[in-house]
C-alpha cells in the first residue's frame, strides 16, 4: 500500500516520533495526545471513506495558546500538520498523513457570545452548525447555512470548505454569513480578522481563508451572523415525468425573478430511497421531484406559491403539493435531508460527487450523466441544490468487487470534467481535498495554479499545513518559477484505500 508523498518529505524515525509525542504532551498535557495505533483509527479517514491513513500522532488542544504552541513547534521542526474538525468532509480534506500530526479541534466546542443587538454569535470552531441555531432559536433567530450534515459538521469545517446547504440559494454560503474569526498561522502567530461589524478594512482575508481547506491557517474562534426567522415559510413538492422537465422548471423559476429560499431536486432512485427511509409522503410514480421553499410575509409567500405552481404546470408537472403547516413543510425536507444515508441503504457503497454547473445546463448535464451511467454500468442517484447549480450525484458501487472502486472514480472524474466543460466548477461546497486534486488542471491553467500556490507560500512558506490536498503537485516556494503541472488522471496512485 502506498501513501501520500511530497517532495523532500521529512520521514520521522521511531526515536524522533517518540520525542515528538513527548514534546506535544508537554504542550497539551493529560489525555490530549493520542499515539497508539488502535486509538488513532478513529481519525484515519473523514466522510470520504474510500481512503484511510493512520497519522503519526493525534493532538487535541483546547485553547488558542495550545494551538499556537503546537503549530510553532511543528513549524520549527519541519513537521507536517493536518487540521481536522468533525471529520464529515466528503473530499478527503482531513485525510491524515503517516508522517504528520493530526490536529483535532473537537474540544473547541463552546458558544462564547450571543449578541442579539448586532445579530451575531461568536463560537469556537468545534460547535456544530445546527448547535448555533439551537442556541438562538428561542429568541426567533437562526443560522442560515444548513448542509445536510448540519447535526454533526462543525462551523470550523464549514469555513474550511465554504459549506452551503438547501437554503444557500437565497441566504448564501458560509462565506456570506461569517463576520470574523481568529486564526493561528503555522508559525504560531495569532491574528484577528473581521469582527461583529459588517465590513472589514484592508484585504479580504476572510474571503481568502474561507474555503482554503486548512492549507493557510487554523481557525480558533468564529463570529457568524444570525437572522430572524421569516414570518412565513411554505414548501412545494413537485413531481415531474422527467429530470429534464424538472431541470427546465428550475431554470424558468429563476429567470422569472422568483427568489426561492431553497430549490432541491432528486431523481427517481433518490426519491424511492428517501421515501423508504423517512416516509415523507413523496410520490413514487415520478422521475424527478422538486422541493421549492418560499419565505417572507404571508401575502408574498401565497403569491409566490401560485407563481411557481404555474411555472411547474407549464413544465409538465404531474403533481404539485403545497405545505399547509410547519409540520408538513419540515416533512417535505426530511427526505431530502436524509437522502445520503437513505441511499446508503440501497447500495453497499456510494461515492458522493460535488460539482457546480450553470443552472440552464441542468437538463443537458442530466442527460449526459445518464449516458455515462450506462457506459460504466453503475447506477446513480442524483440529489441537487438545483437552485444554485450544485450537484451531488451519488454513484452506487460495491467496494468488494475488484476494480469497481476504480471504475467509480473514473465515472466521477468524467462527471466533474463535464461540469467544467459546460461552464461550471469542480466543487460547490465539499472542497477539492484529495478527491479532486488531480483534476485541478482540467479547470485551471499552469499560470492560475502558480498564483494560487504563491498565496499558499505567503501563509505557509514551508508547505507544512495540510499538504497533499488541493494541488496536484506542491513545490517549495523557492521553486515556484520551475513549477509544472501535468494533467490529472484517476485513480490516485498515492492515496491509501481500505
CATH number at residue 22: 3.30.465.10
Helix (H) or strand (E) holding 72: helix 64-76
* Residues 282, 285, 290, 294, CA torsion sign: negative
Residues 172 and 312 in one domain: no
Of 208, 236, 212, 401, the closest CA to residue 313 belongs to 236
13, 62 contact by CB (below 8 A): no
Q: Can you give the pLDDT at residue 367?
A: 86
Residues 394 and 362 in one domain: yes
Domain boundary among 177, 206, 229: 229
Residues 350 and 311 in one domain: no
Find where cell 413544465 sits.
Answer: 315
Q: Where are the alpha helices (DSSP H) in 256-397?
A: 268-278, 298-314, 326-337, 339-343, 362-376
Please give the Cα distance from 135 to 131 (Å, whole number): 6
Residues 442 and 335 in one domain: no
Q: Can you give the pLDDT at residue 8?
A: 44
Find where cell 468487487 sits.
Answer: 401
Low-confidence ranges of the chain (pLDDT < 70): 1-14, 200, 474-476, 478-498
pTM for the structure as a whole: 0.90
Please give the Cα distance from 471 to 53 (Å, whole number): 19
**Quick check: is 8 in a domain?**
yes
**Quick check: is 498 in a domain?**
no
Residues 337 and 354 in one domain: no
Q: Which residues contact 493 (CB under 8 A, 6 or more apart)?
A: 2
Residues 243 and 137 in one domain: no
Q: Can you give the pLDDT at residue 479?
A: 64
Q: Where are the alpha helices (DSSP H) in 149-278?
A: 155-161, 168-171, 205-209, 243-255, 268-278
CATH number, domain of 286, equals 3.30.70.3450
Q: Say how many domains are in the chain.
A: 4
Q: Can you give the pLDDT at residue 148?
A: 86
3, 98 contact by CB (below 8 A): yes
Helix (H) or strand (E) holding 254: helix 243-255
Q: Can you give the pLDDT at residue 39?
A: 96
Range of the domain at 450: 437-482
Q: Can you give the pLDDT at residue 474?
A: 66
Of 444, 448, 463, 414, the closest CA to residue 8 belongs to 463
Amino acid at each position: 500500500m502506498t501513501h501520500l508523498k511530497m517532495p523532500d518529505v521529512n520521514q520521522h524515525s521511531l526515536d524522533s516520533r517518540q520525542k515528538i509525542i513527548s514534546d506535544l504532551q508537554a504542550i497539551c498535557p493529560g489525555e490530549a495526545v493520542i499515539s497508539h495505533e488502535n486509538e488513532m483509527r478513529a481519525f484515519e479517514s473523514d466522510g470520504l471513506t474510500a481512503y484511510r491513513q493512520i497519522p503519526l500522532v493525534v493532538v487535541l488542544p483546547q485553547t488558542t495558546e495550545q494551538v499556537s504552541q503546537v503549530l510553532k513547534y511543528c513549524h520549527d521542526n519541519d513537521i507536517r500538520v493536518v487540521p481536522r474538525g468533525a471529520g464529515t468532509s466528503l473530499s478527503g480534506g482531513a485525510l491524515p498523513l503517516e508522517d504528520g500530526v493530526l490536529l483535532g479541534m473537537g474540544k473547541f466546542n463552546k458558544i462564547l457570545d450571543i449578541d442579539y443587538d448586532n445579530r451575531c454569535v461568536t463560537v469556537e470552531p468545534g460547535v456544530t452548525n445546527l448547535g448555533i441555531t439551537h442556541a438562538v432559536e428561542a429568541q426567533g433567530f437562526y443560522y442560515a447555512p444548513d448542509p445536510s450534515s448540519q447535526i454533526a459538521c462543525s462551523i470550523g469545517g464549514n469555513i474550511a470548505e465554504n459549506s452551503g446547504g438547501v437554503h444557500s440559494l437565497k441566504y448564501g454560503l458560509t462565506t456570506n454569513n461569517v463576520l470574523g474569526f481568529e486564526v493561528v498561522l503555522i508559525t504560531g502567530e495569532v491574528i484577528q480578522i473581521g469582527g461583529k461589524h459588517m465590513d472589514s478594512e484592508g484585504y479580504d482575508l476572510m474571503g481568502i481563508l474561507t474555503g482554503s481547506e486548512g492549507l493557510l491557517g487554523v481557525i480558533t474562534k468564529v463570529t457568524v451572523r444570525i437572522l430572524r426567522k421569516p414570518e412565513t415559510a411554505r414548501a412545494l413538492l413537485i413531481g415531474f415525468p422527467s429530470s429534464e422537465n424538472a431541470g427546465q422548471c428550475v431554470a424558468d423559476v429563476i429567470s422569472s425573478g422568483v427568489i426561492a429560499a431553497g430549490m432541491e431536486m432528486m431523481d427517481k432512485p433518490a426519491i424511492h430511497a428517501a421515501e423508504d427511509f423517512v416516509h415523507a409522503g413523496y410520490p413514487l410514480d415520478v422521475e424527478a421531484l422538486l422541493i421549492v421553499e418560499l419565505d417572507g410575509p404571508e401575502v408574498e409567500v401565497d403569491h409566490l406559491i401560485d407563481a411557481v405552481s404555474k411555472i411547474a404546470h407549464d413544465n409538465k408537472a404531474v403533481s404539485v403539493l403545497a405545505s399547509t403547516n410547519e409540520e408538513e413543510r419540515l416533512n417535505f425536507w426530511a427526505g431530502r435531508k436524509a437522502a445520503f444515508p437513505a441511499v446508503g441503504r440501497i447500495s453497499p457503497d456510494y461515492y458522493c460527487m460535488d460539482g457546480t454547473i450553470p443552472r440552464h445546463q441542468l437538463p443537458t448535464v442530466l442527460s449526459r450523466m445518464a449516458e455515462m451511467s450506462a457506459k460504466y454500468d453503475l447506477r446513480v442517484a442524483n440529489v441537487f441544490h438545483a437552485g444554485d447549480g450544485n450537484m451531488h450525484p451519488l454513484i452506487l458501487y460495491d467496494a468488494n468487487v475488484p476494480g469497481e472502486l476504480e471504475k467509480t472514480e473514473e465515472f466521477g472524474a468524467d462527471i466533474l470534467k463535464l461540469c467544467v466543460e459546460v461552464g461550471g466548477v469542480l466543487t460547490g461546497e465539499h472542497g477539492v481535498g484529495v478527491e479532486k486534486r488531480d483534476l485541478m488542471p482540467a479547470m485551471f491553467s499552469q499560470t492560475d495554479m502558480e498564483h494560487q500556490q504563491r498565496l499558499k507560500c505567503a501563509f505557509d512558506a514551508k508547505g507544512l499545513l495540510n499538504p497533499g490536498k488541493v494541488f496536484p503537485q506542491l513545490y517549495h516556494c523557492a521553486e515556484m518559477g520551475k513549477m509544472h503541472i501535468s494533467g490529472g488522471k484517476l485513480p490516485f496512485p498515492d492515496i491509501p484505500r481500505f
